[in-house]
């Protein structure tokens, strides 16, 4: 049974999400603020976190950062604010989805199902370690090294890089990247992908040119084997 953690300072919202979550066969725990959520994540393992942004003590963005330091847990963020900046910032932190309040509990559960299914199947290759000159990718361990030095990526940046590598030398449109990695294209746009590609290139340093921009199309990981 999948375990969910619902983090929101509004009891009624936690109650509704818990009711729908349990109806869908999930075990649901609750936290009323970010600090409590971080503490629970230190003590317990969760398969997914539903996290509000506007909370006392520790806001959702800060809570996300702290949780990602401890464990790589999928996060769906809730917010009454629908500004694009907030969404993009959330994705840069490694969240898996962003839903604007008020929301449909049925839609939320559908998105929970998508994220869990995607994490279960993964975008990883069965090959554990791949080397591209000085760029080493360990799919199973979810690690990336540049000239022997480990680099840190957000979970979404890992997923994007692994997907590009698994489909290396193949042109991938932005829409396909959004659909296959984020699992939906409800509000995603070109800038969501472009921001992650920019961050990836910066992290890869001397190997940034392996990620090729295809003007008017999207991107590909280009490497002659």
Distance (Å, whole) CA 95 – CA 73: 9
Average pLDDT, the chain: 86
Tell which of 89, 121, 153 closes a domain: 121
Tell which of 72, 97, 121 closes a domain: 121
Looking at the fold, whether 209 and 105 belong to one and the same domain comes out as: no
| 105: its two tokens | 């509990």
| Overall average pLDDT of the 116-124 stretch | 62
Residue 54's CB: how many other CB atoms inside 10 A?
14
Determine the 3-state secondary structure of 80 from DSSP.
Answer: coil
Res 79: pLDDT = 86
CB 212 within 8 A of CB 222: yes
Res 100: pLDDT = 86
- Specify the pTM: 0.58
Largest CA distance in the chain: 56
Residue 190's CB: how many other CB atoms inside 10 A?
12
What is the DSSP secondary-structure string of 21-54? HHHTT-EEEEESSHHHHHHHHHHS--SEEEEESS
CATH of the domain at 178: 1.10.10.10
| 199: its two tokens | 């961050």
Res 5: pLDDT = 97
- Residue numbers of the domain that contains 111: 3-121
**Phi-psi category of residue 171: left, alpha or beta, with phi > 0 → left and psi -120 to 50 → alpha:** beta
Q: For 124-183, what is each residue's pLDDT tens digit?
A: 444 467 889 999 988 766 789 999 999 988 888 888 998 898 888 999 998 888 877 776
Residue 13's CB: how many other CB atoms inside 10 A?
18
Quote the number of domains for the chain: 2
């Amino acid at each position: 049974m999948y375990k969910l953690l619902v983090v929101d300072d509004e009891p009624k919202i936690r109650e509704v999400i818990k009711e729908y979550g349990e109806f869908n066969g999930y075990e649901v725990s609750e936290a009323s603020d970010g600090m409590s959520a971080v503490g629970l994540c230190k003590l317990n393992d969760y398969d997914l976190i539903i996290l509000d942004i506007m909370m006392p003590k520790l806001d959702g963005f800060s809570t996300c950062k702290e949780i990602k330091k401890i464990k790589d847990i999928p996060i769906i963020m809730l917010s009454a604010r629908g500004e694009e900046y907030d969404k993009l910032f959330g994705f840069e932190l490694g969240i898996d989805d962003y839903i604007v309040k008020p929301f449909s509990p049925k839609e939320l559960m559908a998105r929970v199902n998508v994220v869990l299914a995607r994490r279960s199947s993964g975008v990883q290759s069965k090959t554990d370690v791949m080397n591209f000159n000085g760029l080493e990718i360990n799919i199973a361990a979810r690690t990336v090294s540049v000239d022997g030095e480990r680099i840190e990526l957000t979970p979404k940046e890992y997923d994007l890089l692994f997907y590009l590598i698994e489909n290396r030398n193949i042109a991938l449109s932005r829409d396909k990247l959004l659909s296959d990695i984020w699992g939906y294209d409800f509000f995603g746009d070109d800038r969501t992908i472009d921001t992650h590609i920019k961050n990836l290139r910066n992290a890869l340093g001397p190997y940034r040119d392996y990620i090729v921009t295809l003007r008017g199309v999207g991107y590909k990981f280009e490497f002659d084997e």
